[in-house]
Homo-oligomer: A and B are copies of this chain.
Amino acid sequence: MSSQVLPLDAETKAAESPEHHREELRLWLRLLTCSTMIEGEIRRRLRERFDVTLPRFDLMAQLDKAPDGMTLSDLSRRMMVSNGNLTGLVERLAVSGHLDRRVSATDRRAQIISLTEAGRAEFRAMAAAHETWIAELFGDLSAKEQKDLMRLLARTKFSARNAMTGETV
């Protein structure tokens, strides 16, 4: 999988030489650092200026994009969090009046979750600030750098998805 093409006999291969992948590791740690730093700062600002947690913001962001509402399973898939996690999150936001739950007309197991008017208004205000913050945090990157990074992250997502579904290369 890359590296040298010198002929290694089966013996050598079977010996399972360590095969270091330090560069990939460094790449992953840097990606994680960026993500953690930015997420932490956004979390801090959301709490400070709007007294809201990041998970609640994220949940409302998903619902804002779905005017007709979504089921818990849809939310779970989109947000990449466990089902059980959402049960509690939705419960708390329903109690605080930010969202509505109604049983699906076609499937009595499922609930359709949607933002209330108040919830939507509150989210829109937060979203505007959030967008500004993100632009500020990425502010030093040129348009070209942003475009390149976007492409490389798309490739990364594809690569990871690939490695997760099936083939061990």
Task: With both chains docked as a complex, state the minimum distance between the C-beta of A158 and any C-beta of chain B, in angstroms.
Answer: 6
Q: Which stretch in A28-36, A87-95, A100-108, A109-117 binds the other chain?
A: A28-36
Q: Does A52 contact B (CB under 8 A)?
A: no
Q: Which residues of B contact A1 (CB under 8 A)?
A: 135, 139
* Per-residue B-contact encoding for A134-148, CB less than 8 Å = 1, 0 else: 111111111101101
Number of chain A residues close to chain B: CB under 8 A:
59
- Judge whether B30 and A160 touch: CB under 8 Å: no
Q: Does A41 contact B (CB under 8 A)?
A: yes
Q: A35-B31, A134-B25 are in contact. Are A152 and B159 (CB under 8 A)?
A: no
Q: Does A26 contact B (CB under 8 A)?
A: yes
Q: A149-B152, A169-B139 are in contact. Are A134 and B36 (CB under 8 A)?
A: no
In the complex, what residue of chain B is closest to A136 when comparing beta carbons? B163
Name the prevailing secondary structure of the A interface residues.
helix
- A41 to B157: give the CA distance in the assembly, Å: 12
- Judge whether B39 and A32 touch: CB under 8 Å: yes
In the complex, what residue of chain B is closest to A58 when comparing beta carbons? B32
- Judge whether A158 and B146 touch: CB under 8 Å: no
Q: Does A53 contact B (CB under 8 A)?
A: no
- Judge whether A138 and B159 touch: CB under 8 Å: yes
Q: Which residues of A contact B (CB under 8 A)?
A: 1-2, 18-28, 30-41, 80, 128, 131-132, 134-143, 145-146, 148-150, 152-164, 168-169
Beyond A27-B138, A34-B35, A149-B149: 12 further Cβ-contacts under 8 Å?
A: A18-B128, A21-B135, A25-B131, A30-B153, A31-B35, A33-B153, A34-B156, A40-B80, A41-B160, A140-B158, A140-B162, A141-B152
